[in-house]
Amino acid sequence: LTVTTTAGASVSRVLDDIAGIGRGSDGGYRRPVFSTAERDLRGWFVAEAERRGLDVETDRNGIIWAWWGRPMDGALVTGSHLDSVPGGGAFDGPLGVVAALVAIDRMRERGVVPSRSLAVVVFPEEEGSRFGIACLGSRLLTGLLAPDAARRLLDRDGNTLADVFAGSGIDPRHLGPDPAALARIGQFVELHVEQGRGLVDLDAPIAVGSSILGHGRWKLTVTGQGNHAGTTLMHDRADPVVAAAAIVGVVAETALAFDDARATVGRFEPHPGGTNVIASRVDLWVDARHEDDAVTAALIDGIATAAGRLAGRHGCTVEVVRESWSPTVGLDPALGRAVAALVPGAPVLRSGAGHDAGILAASVPSTMLFVRNPSGISHSPEEFVERADADVSADVLADVLGGLL
Ligand SMILES: [Zn+2]
């Protein structure tokens, strides 16, 4: 393979190259896993990696690996994801992937001679925005998600994960724990845009991660009686939208009762969803998070109890099903110290957002670097990184990877 380092490539310029992929008219990105947009990005990544002379392979869970050096156990691994939430920002995921590629350019320019191999990975379905389970690729890799359950997952259009993966060339029969691939990760470092205001408040461009807040998703199904909006008297109704609306209010109220807890209803779907139709059912999803997993459990118990009471008051029933759960994860302290020593003066931050690094941390030493986001906003088009910070992130990542290699 010919090694062609792109002279002068910077993170901000490379991000410009992909800025048009999957961007909607509102400026937000829609890059669900294996959509045309995400597949275009995966193809772009493979081309960029191969242009740098990296050897690219896609494993049986759809994770792309781009190797600097031959594939080996105990390699240094970095990377992130290319999928987005609906209406997401430009940096969540791609920043870590682009910074990894540019960091390799920087290390080559500096004449770094690695003593072991380095791989850049791209995880599929990190956001869980298509199949409902965040960090799906790393959960499959590590065995946290059973392949049978994964294959049966449905997207909003009723496509099974098995069919969607097959359509993108990933044989769904081979999904599942991959100890050989996992053994190749000696250490994992994920660089990511910060999704809160920590670095803005600290006036610093880059932080080292310490922990990832426990978080989970629960689906609430509120069932009532579908009926005619004109002929059904108000007192004769069992309207699940009215019950579900009250439940949304109680989700926020219940979370406020627990210090530092977060609970969100960001998805609310009345069925069948007609203007002149009393719905028969509402599906809504609660995302809940707290550093103390026992608090999250108590929060969900409180929400479920109140939801049952409110549903009954409106002649409806409610079912609460947990769709995913990730306990609070401490990132690797020794690796964190080693990384912090390579980024002098960087503050240490915990993350309120989930990441593949948090899933991998249970199996291999993993840590994170966060890059300042002046808006403090994420999962929104207003997510932002200054060009200078984006460019510096590759230099810092090169310092870290070069130091660990
Ligand atoms: Zn992300």
SS3 304: helix
User: In this predicted model, what pLDDT tens digit does every residue of 294-319 receive, in sequence order?
Assistant: 999 999 999 999 999 999 999 999 99
Distance 21 CA to ligand 1 centre (A): 17
Distance 135 CA to ligand 1 centre (A): 9
Distance 80 CA to ligand 1 centre (A): 7
Distance 64 CA to ligand 1 centre (A): 16
pLDDT at 8: 66
234: left (phi over 0), alpha (psi -120 to 50) or beta: alpha
Residue spans of alpha helices (H) in 110-239? 136-142, 147-152, 161-167, 179-183, 198-202
Distance 378 CA to ligand 1 centre (A): 9
The structure tokens listed for 113 are 């001679």
Distance 172 CA to ligand 1 centre (A): 24
Give dist(CA 102, CA 342) in Å, integer.
18
Distance 85 CA to ligand 1 centre (A): 9
Give dist(CA 146, CA 346) in Å, integer.
38
Spell out, as residue ranges, where the chain has pLDDT lower than 70. Answer: 1-8
Distance 306 CA to ligand 1 centre (A): 32
Angstrom CA distances, 356 to 21, 65, 92, 138, 296, stand at 23, 14, 12, 6, 20
pLDDT at 2: 37
Distance 81 CA to ligand 1 centre (A): 7
Query: Is residue 278 within 8 Å of 226, Cβ to Cβ?
Result: yes
Distance 94 CA to ligand 1 centre (A): 8
pLDDT at 1: 34
SS3 44: helix
CB-based burial label for 100 (10 Å; 0-12, 13-18, 19+): buried
Distance 365 CA to ligand 1 centre (A): 19
Distance 241 CA to ligand 1 centre (A): 32
Which of 307, 313, 342, 184 shows the shortest CA–CA distance to 239? 313
Distance 356 CA to ligand 1 centre (A): 8
Q: pTM for the complete prediction?
A: 0.88
Distance 300 CA to ligand 1 centre (A): 24
Which of 244, 253, 321, 308 shows the shortest CA–CA distance to 278? 244
* Percent of the chain that is helix, strand, coil (3-state, to 5): 35, 25, 40
Query: Is residue 260 within 8 Å of 294, Cβ to Cβ?
Result: no
Query: Is residue 222 within 8 Å of 265, Cβ to Cβ?
Result: no
Query: Is residue 368 within 8 Å of 378, Cβ to Cβ?
Result: no
Distance 25 CA to ligand 1 centre (A): 22
Distance 28 CA to ligand 1 centre (A): 15
